[in-house]
Amino acid sequence: MYKAIVIGTSYGGLEALKTLLPKLRSGFPVPVIIVLHIGDHNNETFVNYMNSLCELEVKEADSHEKIKAGFAYFAPPNYHLLVESDFTFSLTTDEKHNFSRPSIDILFESAAWVYCQTLIGVVLTGANSDGANGLKMIKDFGGATIVENPCSAISPAMPRSALKTAKPDFQLPLEIIADKLIELASIGR
């Protein structure tokens, strides 16, 4: 039974998330935790827009917040987002990783330690290699791994890197990733 989903994306990620997140309906049984590389820009406008499209409640993650189903959490700009052993978030301003803060790898690796085989990791479109090592760690810990098919990605570099490094369980076009998440999240329920 899966207990959380982590998603990492960069260039083209706004469009990808507008396709994926609205398909996850109310009652979706696991929380979704997202790192989107947006630099120093504020998430507020995008979070509000996504809330108008989604049945899940979309919000920025807060430090010490309990992670709950029914939510899609975004890493705040300029903070690394980590999952703690008590299933809460922590935020750090440690140095950039893969030229990014927030870093997909840092989220994925911390979540893998906590959720182990009950975690699903997803790498979407992006222009660098962030997320590849974290996705490999999720797979090594027994979690499920999904990568957007580079052919459907706005920017194929991040999916290609994740495919090469992590050898994921699934390589899917963006349009059906939500269907696979719904299928996996319902296993064991």
Residues acting as catalytic residues: 10, 37, 130
Residues 6+ apart with CB under 8 A from 40: 77, 78
For the chain, the straight-line distance linking the first and the last C-alpha, in angstroms and rounded, comes to 7
Give me the amino acid identity at 167.
K
The β-bridge partners of 8 are 35, 123
The CA–CA distances, whole Å, from 91 to 17, 55, 64, 86, 127 equal 22, 26, 9, 14, 24
Task: For residues 143 and 139, give the distance between their C-alpha atoms in angstroms, rounded to a whole number.
Answer: 5
- Tokens 């630099």 -> residue: 39
The β-bridge partners of 146 are 122, 170
Give the pair of three-digit tokens for residue 78.
């300029």
